[in-house]
Structure 1
Amino acid sequence: MGVRMKFIHLSDVHLGIVPDKNKSWSQDRYQEIYDTFKIVIESAIDQKIDLILIAGDLFHGQPLLKELKEINYLFEKIAPVQVVIIAGNHDYVKDNSFYNSFKWSKNVHFILNDQIECVEIPELNTNIYGMSYHSREIKFPIYDDVIPANRNRINILLGHGGDVNHIIVDENKFIENGFDYSAFGHIHKGYINRAKHFAYSGSLEPTDKNDYGEKGYIIGNIDFKSKKLDLDFVPCAQRQYVTLKINCNNSVTNHALVEKIVDKISEFGSNHIYKVVLTGARHESMEFEVENSLKDFNICEIIDETHIDYDYGKLLTQNDGTIVGQVIQKLQGIDDAAMFYAVNALLRTKR
């Protein structure tokens, strides 16, 4: 045993999920999520890792027996690296769950209990406290009053939660209660509070179109004597969800718009998955229809937030004496936004 204990903290892998169902890349994402997890686990030997902490939602739902066998094989291959796992709200332990009877490799510690229990790893002078979800929701702040029994050991709290339906988390409490590190899951965006020895690792890979930003895991180490903690975030996702905002004007055509979008995608990389948001103005004769021209790119959604760039002088001449003309005369230069919405609504009713 060295002077420091080195660990990987990960969570929210969601093995088995098929993101963006019915999109051309959805099955690729299913496999990529598994592949990324496999790469991280297998890296433990080269990185000289002592401990892997998995803070819930390893699976997206109830794991099949064959899935547990495949994952256990990965863990068995990295022995003597120790692995501690809890179930989260997605892969919670049902009465008929295979979690209940599965026989893990000797280096794997699955905390099956729905109440806090302690996993002791004497060879690492480390105790890990945690519990598994047995239902989709837990509204009681179960972690708040957990206090380590042996302060001479490295004490880690392994948790999953952070909202009103999934164990409200007060990160200030855990270091006060005596934990040297609190390793959490459930929130997919990574977050590290070094002062409080607290972190969400975030998900390894993005799992839906609202899952923005870099994804990865935390690598850390704790000094056995001083309990000094070092934490670093390690990006590992094969793709990201990226929002592209494309500003339009009244001269933009569909062909021009496609070129703008393709140019932007080439800047970020064609492997990523894109939400395209159209902003600005368009000519009143133009309707943007670009989906078919972009079908070879990973675009999950196109949102049109453009507005029509009306020629109000021309409209006033054409609608002199009508309600449209009256609205323009009353609001022009006073409240342009109200004028646009009123004129737009009136013109649409005339079509």
Structure 2
Amino acid sequence: MLTFLHAADLHLDAPFHALPPDRAAERRREQRQLLTRLAQVAQQAQVDLVFLCGDLFDSQRVRPETLQALHQVLEEMEAPVFLAPGNHDPYTDASPYGKFPWPSHVHLFTTPTPERVALPQLGAVVYGSAFTAPHRMEGPLTGFHAQEEGAEAFGCFHGDLSSPHSRYGPITPGEIAASGLNYLALGHIHAASGPQRAGKTYYAWPGCPEGRGFDETGDKGVYLGQLEGGHVSLEFVPLARRRYLTPEVDITGQDPAQALTAFLQTARSEDIVRLALVGERDPDREPDLTDLTALTALASGYFYSASLTDRTTLPQALWARQGEDTLTGLFLRTMAQRIQEAPADQRPLLERAVRFGLAALEGREEPQ
């Protein structure tokens, strides 16, 4: 049995443009700490192989402290490490890869053509290649086939399965099935794919181990894998210091502050969130900017960073008279259709019109 660690898309030294400069710098420091957690996983599992499948760096510009942290972590890893540069950090003369003193057990792939590295002590062989420019129209597996006898064959590549016309190393299921590999470790896709299979070849993308924005939400991490008897099993290991989340807090039948407080008691304060209030609100109370400001302050005081939006709706009971052959019924039917067709940012104003219109039709006091 062979065990391996599969990671990709660390994007070290990402700019974190959406955060204030001090928070962005803190997030980059936390990315460097991610390297330590990566090494700890490898050491605790006593892996035989480590695959870093591209976009280790976010760009060609890398801070000295990042290179120092990377060097220290790689030195501590005892297993052979294989690194395939990706589209964000292609291998060039100007890239940090060409200037970095890699430890002897780290193998850096430097050419678009797949390279073969034999590991007779493990009964294994590893193939890999590199991006040498930000785009790569020819797929890394085009025309590739591993012809191994009595050795477990691994691949370490950066590539994209989404389209055969991708500019980022297109890969097809047919090429994977024809590769002759036991396991194909891939990078580029930032969401964990789970174990996949084409023909006899298992493959996966672990996703990025640390989210950088709300397009990379939820748990992020790496894969611990085992290969035995031609079968591959993968275990997802969360590593993210902070998660980007978009939770919803249902306030139906509750005071919004109490509902939010109850939610905070179950949440991780380290996370970065965009909260949305949902559900049915009190029909006699207008959403108040002061209330939303206070709720936002409550959330911001708990999380690393938080914002809050109101997506609540009027109670369904308010629409119960739509079917009436009355002026009220006609009004409700007309407004319901307008709300359904309106852009999301215009719906709160239309719902407010419904509440005030019903009050006028029924001779009641205006809503608060």
Which TM-score applies when normalising by structure 2?
0.76
2:210 to 184, 193, 205: 205
- Aligned mates of 1:114, 1:186 — CA distance in 2: 16
- Aligned mates of 2:276, 2:183 — CA distance in 1: 40
Residue of structure 2 equivalent to 1:246: 249
Residue of structure 2 equivalent to 1:184: 186
Residue of structure 2 equivalent to 1:74: 73
Contact 1:245 1:276 in 2 (8 A): yes
Report the residue type matching 2:293 in the other structure. Answer: E
Q: Secondary structure at the match of 1:99?
A: helix
- Aligned mates of 2:316, 2:235 — CA distance in 1: 53
Report whether the alignment pairs 1:6 with 2:3: yes
- Aligned mates of 1:285, 1:231 — CA distance in 2: 47
Q: Specify whether residues 336 and 185 from structure 1 end up closer, same or farther in structure 2 by C-alpha distance, changes over 3 A only.
A: same
Report whether the alignment pairs 1:220 with 2:225: yes
- Pairwise CA distance, 1:346: 11
Residue of structure 1 equivalent to 2:240: 237
Identity %: 21
Deviating more after overlay: 24-33 vs 149-158: 24-33
Residue of structure 1 equivalent to 2:358: none
Report the residue type matching 2:224 in the other structure. Answer: I
- Pairwise CA distance, 1:264: 0.9
Report the residue type matching 1:10 in the other structure. Answer: A
Superposed structure 1 runs of 4+ greater than 6 Å apart: 308-313, 326-329
- Pairwise CA distance, 1:331: 4.3
- Pairwise CA distance, 1:198: 0.9
RMSD after superposition: 3.4
Q: Specify whether residues 171 and 35 from structure 1 end up closer, same or farther in structure 2 by C-alpha distance, changes over 3 A only.
A: farther
- Aligned mates of 1:97, 1:137 — CA distance in 2: 15
Residue of structure 2 equivalent to 1:323: none
Q: Specify whether residues 119 and 281 from structure 1 end up closer, same or farther in structure 2 by C-alpha distance, changes over 3 A only.
A: same
Q: Secondary structure at the match of 2:224?
A: strand
Q: Specify whether residues 269 and 312 from structure 1 end up closer, same or farther in structure 2 by C-alpha distance, changes over 3 A only.
A: closer
Point out which structure has higher relative CO (alpha carbons under 8 A, 6+ apart): 1
Which TM-score applies when normalising by structure 1?
0.79
Contact 1:10 1:55 in 2 (8 A): yes
Deviating more after overlay: 290-299 vs 6-15: 290-299
Residue of structure 1 equivalent to 2:259: 260
- Aligned mates of 1:221, 1:205 — CA distance in 2: 23
Q: Specify whether residues 76 and 310 from structure 1 end up closer, same or farther in structure 2 by C-alpha distance, changes over 3 A only.
A: closer
Contact 2:300 2:306 in 1 (8 A): no
- Pairwise CA distance, 1:30: 2.5
- Aligned mates of 1:122, 1:108 — CA distance in 2: 16
Contact 1:327 1:339 in 2 (8 A): no
Q: How many residues align?
A: 327
Q: Secondary structure at the match of 2:5?
A: strand
Contact 1:189 1:201 in 2 (8 A): yes
Residue of structure 1 equivalent to 2:359: none
Residue of structure 2 equivalent to 1:169: 171
